[in-house]
Chain A
């Protein structure tokens, strides 16, 4: 149980295009989902927290107009990287907190590797 999927697993796009990444909780509902970014050989940095049906909360330094987050249902959150540039190339990981679960429990997706040419 408690499986989180991400799609696509990897994507290559041209500079200036937009890319959408999906995060799904497969066997549980998640009112809250999180988006992280991981640079090579570095830690995960929280980008934003998304709550179903409301606007995402972005961490300091994360451009909300560049990284659009939509959490339209209890099992799906999407991250859209708009007008992607090479510096946006990274590993993006989502996690989901089960609805009604304890505050610290998060289940992680396998990640999406984005390469912007």
Chain B
């Protein structure tokens, strides 16, 4: 069975400081991992995805994530937070065993303060 655990339900950072959103995964097969962002009243937007190529994945809006198999982690980072980054972030896992269905974590709410 596949699953993801987002270690923080809420993260608060000051504008201009680094962002770290933590995610650990469990998968019986080679997983694909994603980070999605959900802004109020907007559809989920894909930030980045890992599909067994480079372990350091760069996404949109300056976000990146590193796949660490030894730690079963896929943490999302950004060097400098913007006010517009405030949103709900979901870590997602998918693998062949699940028919490539997306399995969402519980989400991390990112608050960016001035």
**A residues at B contact (CB < 8 Å):** 4, 9, 34, 41-46, 49, 93, 95, 103-104, 106-111
Contact with A along B1-24 (1 / 0, CB 8 A): 000000001000000000000000
Inside 8 A of B105's CB, which chain A residues have their CB?
43
Is there contact, CB below 8 Å, between A106 and B43? no
Is there contact, CB below 8 Å, between A42 and B43? no
Inside 8 A of A46's CB, which chain B residues have their CB?
101-103
Is there contact, CB below 8 Å, between A43 and B90? yes
Is there contact, CB below 8 Å, between B42 and A110? yes
Closest to B4 in A: A43
B104 within 8 A of A: yes
Beyond contacts A41-B109, A111-B43: 9 other A-B pairs, Cβ-Cβ < 8 A, are: A34-B102, A43-B105, A43-B107, A44-B44, A45-B104, A104-B49, A104-B100, A108-B43, A108-B44
Contact with A along B84-114 (1 / 0, CB 8 A): 0000001000100000111111110100000
| Complex Cα–Cα for A109 and B38 (A) | 11
Contact with A along B30-73 (1 / 0, CB 8 A): 00101010000111110001010000000000000000000000
| Complex Cα–Cα for A99 and B6 (A) | 31
Total contacting residues, chain B, CB less than 8 A? 22
Which residue of A44, A49, A104, A111 contacts B104 across the interface (Cβ within 8 Å)? A44
| Complex Cα–Cα for A9 and B100 (A) | 28
Most buried by A among B34, B45, B104: B104
Inside 8 A of A42's CB, which chain B residues have their CB?
106-107
CB of A31, distance to nearest CB on chain B (Å): 14
Known contacts A44-B90, A104-B32, A104-B51: does B107 contact A93 (CB below 8 Å)?
no
8 sample A-B contacts, Cβ–Cβ < 8 Å, listed by A number: A43-B90, A46-B101, A93-B43, A103-B94, A104-B34, A108-B36, A108-B45, A111-B43
Which residue of A4, A43, A49, A104 contacts B43 across the interface (Cβ within 8 Å)? A4
